């Protein structure tokens, strides 16, 4: 369980990104976070694994106070939280499998990771993760030979190899075409349901948020202005989240491949 209690975040430049946020996210939920650019979506997600430290309040994950963790404890804590970025964050000159194993075997040196010095058990775990996202056949392909959608699925497999209980995704489909975006979102949804992994996605595509997430959190100027089922989101709610700026919400007519 993730719990924000009166959490605020103020950056050194004076910008307040989060204001008195109170949220409880139960294990196994699929949550989409929506709002205008600069509303605080990325900050909210990145506070959970302490990529950003909160300024005030209390933030706990599975009853563990995130702000109280020392450096060694923080590394251990982050092992159970997967992080997916828009830019994939892969090493493009090495194989897909080695990329999956880079994060899942943290005790190896950087150079041993680059040269593929992994155990048989490590490799089996990595191959199983690739199989879960449907790209096992690309295991020994260099990452720079893959499409954007395939690279994002490698990033997801890398996270799965950590055996996380939570996956945080910061605009994971922003750079993908509509068809590929739905394929990746299908992977997130299936993993959420089959593996009971909590998934929190910061996403600009409102139509995808409403289609895939069970729960929507809407942020405006650092404050939570909506928190509820995706089925209850209507134009009035969207106007509140997006400050009455035009926002087109459409059902995608493209079927995933």
| DSSP assignments along the chain, one per residue | -EEEEEEEEE-TTS-EEEEEEEEEE-TT-EEEEE-STTSSHHHHHHHHTTSS--SEEEEEETTEEGGG--HHHHHHHHTTEEEEETT----TTSBHHHHHHHHH-TTS-HHHHHTT---HHHHHHHHHHHHHTT-GGGTTSBGGGS-HHHHHHHHHHHHHTT--SEEEEESTTTTS-HHHHHHHHHHHHHHHHHH--EEEEE-S-HHHHHHH-SEEEEEETTEEEEEEEGGG--HHHHHHHTTT---------PPP-
**Domain presence at residue 15:** yes
Q: What is the CATH number of the domain that holds 42?
A: 3.40.50.300
Q: What is the mean pLDDT of the chain?
A: 89
Residue 232 lies in a domain: yes
Predicted confidence (pLDDT) at residue 206 exceeds the cutoff of 80: yes
Higher pLDDT, 251 or 78: 78
Of 21-25, 29-33, 74-78, 194-198, the least confident = 74-78
Q: Name the maximum alpha-carbon separation found in the chain.
A: 55
Q: Assess contact for 129 and 105: CB atoms under 8 A.
A: no
The total of structural domains in the chain comes to 1
Residue 198 resides in a domain? no
User: Are 104 and 122 a contacting pair, CB within 8 Å?
Assistant: yes
Query: What pTM, to 2 d.p., does this model score?
Result: 0.88
Residue-wise pLDDT for 213-230, tens only, equals 999 999 999 999 999 999
Q: What percent of the chain has pLDDT over 90?
A: 73
Question: Per-residue pLDDT averaged across 154-177, rounded?
Answer: 92
Question: Quick one: pLDDT at residue 256?
Answer: 31
d(CA 55, CA 57): 7
Q: Which of 44, 63, 64 is nearest to 52 (CA)?
A: 44
Does residue 66 lie in a domain region? yes
Tell whether 253 is covered by a domain: no
* DSSP assignment of 166-179: EEEEESTTTTS-HH
Pick from 3-7, 96-100, 124-128, 155-159 the range whose average pLDDT is largest.
3-7
Any domain includes 59: yes
Quick one: pLDDT at residue 252?
A: 37
Tokens (6 digits) for 94: 């090495």
Would residue 63 count as lying in a domain?
A: yes
Residue 214 lies in domain: 1-76+204-247
Classify 220 in phi/psi space as left (phi over 0), alpha (psi -120 to 50) or beta: beta
Question: Is residue 22 domain-resident?
Answer: yes
């Amino acid at each position: 369980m993730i719990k924000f209690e009166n959490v605020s975040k103020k950056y050194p430049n004076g910008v307040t990104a989060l204001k008195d946020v109170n949220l409880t996210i139960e294990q196994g939920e699929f949550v989409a976070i929506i709002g205008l650019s600069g509303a605080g979506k990325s900050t909210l997600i990145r506070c959970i694994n302490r990529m950003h430290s909160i300024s005030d309040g209390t933030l706990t994950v599975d009853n563990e106070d995130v702000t109280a963790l020392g450096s060694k404890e923080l590394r251990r804590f982050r092992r159970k939280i997967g992080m997916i970025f828009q830019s994939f964050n892969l090493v493009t000159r090495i194989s897909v499998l080695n990329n999956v194993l880079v994060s899942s075997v943290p005790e190896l040196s950087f150079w041993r990771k680059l040269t593929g010095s992994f155990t048989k058990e490590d490799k089996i775990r990595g191959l199983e993760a690739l199989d879960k996202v449907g790209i096992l056949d690309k295991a020994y392909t260099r990452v720079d030979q893959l499409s954007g959608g395939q690279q994002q699925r490698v990033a997801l497999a890398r996270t799965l190899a950590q055996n996380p209980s939570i996956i945080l995704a910061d605009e994971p489909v922003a750079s993908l075409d509509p068809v590929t975006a739905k394929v990746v979102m299908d992977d997130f949804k299936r993993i959420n349901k089959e593996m009971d992994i909590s998934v929190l996605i910061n996403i600009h595509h409102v139509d995808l948020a409403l289609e895939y997430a069970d729960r929507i959190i809407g942020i405006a100027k650092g404050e939570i202005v909506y928190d509820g089922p995706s089925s209850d989101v209507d134009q009035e709610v969207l106007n509140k989240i997006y400050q009455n700026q035009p926002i087109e919400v459409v059902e995608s007519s493209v079927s995933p491949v």
